[in-house]
Amino acid sequence: MRIAVLLATLAAGLLTPALSEASSLTLETSHLIVSDNTGNLSDERLRELADHAQETLKKALAFWSTDFRMRQFGKIRVIFDPPRKRDYYASFFVASWDKKEGRRVRIVRVFGAERSPLQMAHKLTSAVFPHKDQLIRNIMGVPAEEQVGNRLSFPGCGFSSDDWVLAFVKANTVIPVKELGPDGESWGHPIGADGLPYVSDRAKYTKAYAEAGSFGSYLIRTYGVSKIKQFYHHSLQKERPWQDIFGVDLQELEANWLKTLKANEAVSERNVSTALGLFEKDPNTACAAAQKVVTGNP
């Protein structure tokens, strides 16, 4: 599956054989190969991060009631990098071909390591369920982050994806799910020359990810985890088989999702109003502002 491919020179550097014990460069857990690409992490901090990543993966596997697929893909490579921009924490999932092993390998790159990583549960879920369709990756990844990961992670940023979508409903700016294509272009999040996505349209990017997360959470609550996994496996053979798996088409699923959100709006009215105000003030800073509201940091 062609999800995203690192540049050849980068992939060659990432896919060197790993050490079996902790070092200043690389260590292994039962499911992960963890390495420091910052050049600044102590052995102790790398061990802490590796333990945290392993525990996060364990929680994600339990959430999805699934196994690790070790035989098919091998261990997940988790690479800790410096923040891409000043104090910008995020994680990305990529897949690349390991010529030595003769198979595709799963790589989660985590940008920022001084604080607790963001989006790790999301991207580890993408590594467990790799898919070329960005919508399917995110309707599974965002709910996993909200349930077992760091609640400050994008797109919730301390609130929930439901809160943000209700804010967009209030502003009448919700993007129809059918317009969220399989690649990042329609999400305001295309792939750059370095093989990693970048934000080209912050407002669209925020709406798209929040909607995918909220829609995915609705599907999980309504149909259950087993049904979502069934949808995932069928989607590897047939493009977005909504009707086949859920018994209704996308239009009806979307209408039911938004109807359910509106029915529960009063429960999170304060968060919705705050989210809308932050987004309308500046979509470029809305996530960071929301994180500050939730943590109480100025």
Angle at 211 between CA 182 and CA 179, to 5 degrees: 40
Tens digits of per-residue pLDDT, 131-152? Answer: 999 999 999 999 999 999 999 9
Residue 17 has pLDDT above 90, yes or no: no
Which burial class, exposed, middle or buried, applies to 261 when counting CB atoms under 10 A from its CB (0-12, 13-18, 19+)?
A: buried
DSSP 226-264: HHHHHHHHHHTTSS--HHHHHSS-HHHHHHHHHHHHHHT
At residue 5, the pLDDT reads: 32
Q: Which residue has the higher pLDDT, 23 or 51?
A: 51
At residue 23, the pLDDT reads: 41
Least confident of 98-107, 211-220, 225-234, 284-293: 98-107
Q: Which pTM was predicted? A: 0.88
